[in-house]
Structure 1
Amino acid sequence: MTLSVTPPGTSSGPRSGHRLAVRPTRRVVAPEVRRRRRVQLTWALMVLNVMTFFPGAPHLLPIPGSVGKLIAQGALVGALVMALSVNRPLRVRPSVYVVILMTLAVEALLSSLHAEFLLGALFRACRLFGFALVLWLLTPWWTRRDLLLVRTHLLMLWGIVASVVVGLAVAPGLAMTEDRLGGTLWPIPPTQVGHYSAVAIGLTIVLWMSGLLRRSVALVSVLVCVPVLLLTHTRTALVAVLAGVTLAGISLFTARSRVRKAFAIGLVVFTLGDLTLGSVVTTWLARGQDTAELGALTGRKAVWEAILAQPRSAMEVLFGFGLSNKSFNGLPIDSNWLGTYYDVGLVGCALTVMLVLFVLVAAWFRPQGPHRALALFLVAYCVVASFTESGLSEASPYLLELTLAASLVYSTPTREGPR
């Protein structure tokens, strides 16, 4: 029997008219939850860093160009600090991909020492080195079974697409400059908006096909992102996402009945669309351009020919002219391979090819499952987009997503990162 002793002048129960004072309890956050949040914040800062601020693009918020660039570039410093804070004691995992990436960063730094615009080239090379260093510090979290980095990346893409939709609702005339949808809250060119929405569509579909995303969430994501992609009139992103989703679906075809059903429905929709909306699709793909403009790849062909005709020494053939802003005589290069050749030469091209081939081969020989499907989608998207977009040899969304694919093919996944 348990006895309870009540001091004199008190009662064992609450008196009428009096309330018991309850001290609020502080919510205790587990160390693993705090680490996961800091890893997510690090990745979010990396995404912000590659969202280049374009002061010349139309935007609603009165953000000065220097402030916008400082926010974007300062995010890399914040990501490095956050990665060092969460990775204590300092631990990194050995990775062939990271070794190749760090070699590319060092080669870019050495090539930039002889660049015509030295300060700009050195800044871009140091940024690439810092970018690779942060990704290296995140390697302990590459093997998580919960796909922490993939889900964080998808959340960031949803946020970017949502900001574009809000800008379109608030100022449709400003958002649809030249009949192509761009970001207005944060100045994002239509091609990048198309890229972000396409990758969001692809990740959503592959996660749903793998049974890792609820149908309602996937449906909302696709119904929002597909119109955004179509309004940007970005042909490269559309072709890349179709190729990536198809390859990822093939890798899951024998394992998931929903994949087989989705392929059957997609085939029917594609056939009906080709029969009924063929002229509309052709008009959309032409984007108001005539046959000559399409044949010249919207002016890209002239720039590419000029790059190949550029006089260069044997050292410049091997190591390039140093990292540039991916333009030639004031015109965008719009080709990862020619841009890489111009900046870091044949050696840089070889290292970039090694990055892509390593991820592709590792993903192909990985056991069937979500990790393999997601990796195949991302690497296929990057390969297709690389012919008319640049970014695999510099700090960019494409390099970030290729690294995301590399994290998915890394050895045996574990549940948590380091403690």
Structure 2
Amino acid sequence: MTVSALPRRTTEAAPVPGLLRLTWAALFLNVLAFAGSVILVPIPESLGQLVTQGALLLAALLALILNRRATLRPDVFLVLLTVLAVVTLMTSLHNEFLLSSTFRACRLLLFLGVVWLLTPWLGSRQMELLRCHRQCHFVVLGLVLLGALVAPGLAFSFQGRLSGVLWPIPPTQVAHYAAILLGTSTVLWMCRVIGGRDAMVAIGLSSITLVATHTRTALLAAVIGLVFAGASLFFRHVRVRRTSAVVAAFAVLAATVFATELTAWVLRGQTAEDAGRLTGRTDVWAQVMALDRPLRERLFGRGMSDQSFNGLAIDSNWVATYLDQGWFGVSVIAVALITILLRAITYPPRPQRAVALFLIVYCMVASITETGLSTASPYLLDLVVAAALVAPSRRVRPSDPRGVT
């Protein structure tokens, strides 16, 4: 047999359609919240919010052009989220802050409408949505690191934690983007989907960024997500077994030699009591759960809010969902998570399953001290990508200039 007759082990992925890339970038920009913190070049908060909110309208327009025939694929995960959004809008119409609450509910509905228009790419073997998602993370981390190089003092001005200064991104969100890029890059490298050089750059930059943000939730969620993703690959990939052994040995060595330094890093200057109370988060959670509310509000919530209570951030998806969408919202989100988790577990042993497991487990762990699973947010985009990865396979022709056929 000649060399030219040998079968290729891998084939290059087809290029992502430019219009799909732009649509996803607009969606991503919409959930890239404008924090209004100090940045290198001051931008009026109203202008920043106009850019992010207007990006959703741009995403809707691009999605309609991309999918001119409005071809939709049924998906249980999206159906559950849509039902929640509709009920939330109905509840928001009775909120004391009618305009702001209704606006947030309508934004969630429009956000899901754009995602529905992208459902023809669910289940694609080319993983176009994941590739678009990772490219957006690369851009965000690039901006954060560039800002740290240009103005390091300003970038680390928030308690010594890395934040965005070219675009206002708080340390917790920077950590989220770094953790997602770190986890997906690691899984794709272990599955031999991306090469060693690309993986080294992605893993190196995201690891440095994650540590610099000093964010415990993102780090813990990434580690647990990688454990589950690695377990799904353990018996099929030699690289996973070797990497697991090396990482385990390194972790034991680091924990032994640098125990004091690691403890100080985890505590972040806090006492053990403060760390146990999750920096005061549990006090706010207790106040929300102890709130005396009518039965209707306990069941369906009071409508969309900024997910705060008495001026304090709630910082828990489940407590915030209970406040805004009641036990109905909590139940729908839980069922939606279980649905895509079971779909991932029963999916054929492919890279898509491992990446989806990482994203799902990451969001589940992070949801304890972060909000976003019940509203338009980066976390919801992560879950959409996970649902797309483990959806039933179906061929699409993304290169067709006329749109979806």
In the superposition, the TM-score normalised over structure 2's length comes to 0.93
Counterpart CA distance in 1 for 2:320 and 2:342 is 24
Counterpart CA distance in 2 for 1:93 and 1:295 is 45
Counterpart CA distance in 1 for 2:68 and 2:106 is 24
Residue 66 of structure 2 corresponds to residue 86 of structure 1? yes
> Which residue identity lines up with residue 307 of structure 1 in the other structure?
V
Give the structure, 1 or 2, with the largest relative contact order (CA under 8 Å, sep 6 or more).
2
Q: Is the 8 A contact 1:200 1:225 kept in 2?
A: yes
Query: Secondary structure in 2 aligned to 1:179?
Result: coil
Q: Is the 8 A contact 1:121 1:323 kept in 2?
A: yes
Give the corresponding residue for 1:366.
347
Give the corresponding residue for 2:154.
174
Q: Is the 8 A contact 1:334 1:388 kept in 2?
A: yes
Residue 165 of structure 2 corresponds to residue 184 of structure 1? yes
Residue 65 of structure 2 corresponds to residue 68 of structure 1? no
Give the corresponding residue for 1:3.
none
Query: Secondary structure in 2 aligned to 1:273?
Result: helix
Shift of 1:160: 0.6
Counterpart CA distance in 2 for 1:416 and 1:150 is 17
Q: Is the 8 A contact 2:25 2:136 kept in 1?
A: yes
Give the corresponding residue for 2:96.
116
Give the corresponding residue for 1:414.
395
Counterpart CA distance in 1 for 2:372 and 2:152 is 29
Shift of 1:413: 4.3
Q: Is the 8 A contact 1:240 1:380 kept in 2?
A: yes
Which structure 1 residue ranges, 4+ long, deviate > 2 Å from structure 2? Answer: 413-419
- Flag the structure with larger Rg: 1
Give the corresponding residue for 1:132.
112
Give the corresponding residue for 2:192.
211
1:329 is matched with which residue: 290, 310, 313? 310
Residue 177 of structure 2 corresponds to residue 196 of structure 1? yes
Counterpart CA distance in 2 for 1:408 and 1:291 is 40
Give the corresponding residue for 1:42.
23
Q: Is the 8 A contact 1:143 1:415 kept in 2?
A: no
Give the corresponding residue for 2:5.
none
> Which residue identity lines up with residue 217 of structure 1 in the other structure?
D
Counterpart CA distance in 2 for 1:79 and 1:132 is 11
Shift of 1:416: 3.4
Instruction: Tell me the alpha carbon deviations over residues 145-204 of structure 1, each in whole angstroms, 9 at most, x when there is no partner.
Output: 111111111111011111111111111111001211100000000000000001110010
Shift of 1:372: 0.6
Residue 275 of structure 2 corresponds to residue 299 of structure 1? no
Instruction: Tell me the alpha carbon deviations over residues 71-100 of structure 1, each in whole angstroms, 9 at most, x when there is no partner.
Output: 001110000000000102120001111111
Query: Secondary structure in 1 aligned to 2:17?
Result: helix
Residues 281-360 of structure 1 mapped to structure 2, 5 A cutoff = 281-360=262-341
Give the corresponding residue for 1:237.
218
Shift of 1:243: 0.6
Counterpart CA distance in 2 for 1:40 and 1:143 is 17
> Which residue identity lines up with residue 118 of structure 2 in the other structure?
L
2:236 is matched with which residue: 255, 267, 270? 255
Q: Is the 8 A contact 1:144 1:416 kept in 2?
A: no
Q: Is the 8 A contact 2:121 2:396 kept in 1?
A: no
Shift of 1:115: 1.1
Counterpart CA distance in 1 for 2:243 and 2:395 is 30
Q: Is the 8 A contact 2:316 2:371 kept in 1?
A: yes
- The sequence identity of aligned pairs, in percent, is 45
Shift of 1:412: 1.7
Residues 268-283 of structure 1 mapped to structure 2, 5 A cutoff = 268-283=249-264
Give the corresponding residue for 2:383.
402
Counterpart CA distance in 1 for 2:397 and 2:197 is 28
2:369 is matched with which residue: 388, 391, 394? 388
Counterpart CA distance in 2 for 1:116 and 1:312 is 14
Give the corresponding residue for 1:15.
none
Instruction: Tell me the alpha carbon deviations over residues 233-282 of structure 1, each in whole angstroms, 9 at most, x when there is no partner.
Output: 11000000001111111111111111111101111111111111111111
Give the corresponding residue for 1:23.
none
Q: CA RMSD in A?
A: 1.2
Give the corresponding residue for 2:247.
266
Counterpart CA distance in 2 for 1:414 and 1:364 is 22
> Which residue identity lines up with residue 327 of structure 1 in the other structure?
S
Give the corresponding residue for 1:160.
140
Counterpart CA distance in 2 for 1:242 and 1:104 is 30
Gaps of 5+ in 2: 1-13, 399-403
2:130 is matched with which residue: 150, 163, 175? 150
Counterpart CA distance in 1 for 2:59 and 2:133 is 14
Q: Is the 8 A contact 1:141 1:416 kept in 2?
A: no
Query: Secondary structure in 2 aligned to 1:75?
Result: helix
Query: Secondary structure in 1 aligned to 2:236?
Result: coil
Residues 20-31 of structure 1 mapped to structure 2, 5 A cutoff = none
Gaps of 5+ in 1: 1-31
